[in-house]
Structure 1
Amino acid sequence: MGILIRDAQIDRDVRELAEQDGLTLQGAIGLAVRLELERRAERRKLVFDAAEKARARLAKFDLKGDGLSHKEFFDREYGDA
């Protein structure tokens, strides 16, 4: 399996990372991909935790039904009733 990098800037970046960390080119690419995947996983966790916190706060409110369908509700709200 191989990876062909045709972008000169990406090639320079990979080589710079490899040199800075004493890695092979393959190791530098692997490191960069692994770190990006970890960053994305952490971001997903933060978003999930924030959504859970919002759901918990919303769950404290009582739901009150007024017996209207969606159409009846919006007609009433927008003065179309």
Structure 2
Amino acid sequence: MGILVRDEKIDRQVRELAKISGTTLQGAIGIAVENELKRREERRERIEEAFRRAHAYLAQHPVVDDGMTHKEFWDREYGDA
């Protein structure tokens, strides 16, 4: 299985990464892919943690159901009732 890179900029970046990391072109691609996957996983974890914190915060506040529809609520708020 092979990877063909036709983009000069990407080719240059892969070669630069291989050179500064002291690895092969294949190793450089592996490093880049591994780092990107790790970055995305860390971002997903941060988003999930933020969601959990928001959920815990909202769970502390009761849900108020006064029996009105959405339209009735806004009509009342704007004095259209």
Fold equivalence (TM over 0.5): yes
Compute the displacement of 1:80 (Å). 3.2
Compute the displacement of 1:78 (Å). 3.3
Q: Percent identity?
A: 60
Tell me how many residue pairs correspond in the alignment. Answer: 81
TM-score, normalised with respect to structure 1: 0.89
Could you tell me which runs of 5 or more consecutive residues in structure 1 were left unpaired when the two chains were aligned: none
3-state SS of the aligned residue for 2:3?
Answer: coil
* Residue in 1 that maps onto 2:72: 72
Deviations 1:5-57 (A, max 9, x none): 11111111100111111211111101101100100100110111011101101
Moved more, 67-76 or 37-46: 67-76
Poorly superposed stretches of 4+, deviation over 4 Å? none
TM-score, normalised with respect to structure 2: 0.89
* Residue in 2 that maps onto 1:39: 39
Q: Superposition RMSD on alpha carbons, in Å?
A: 1.2
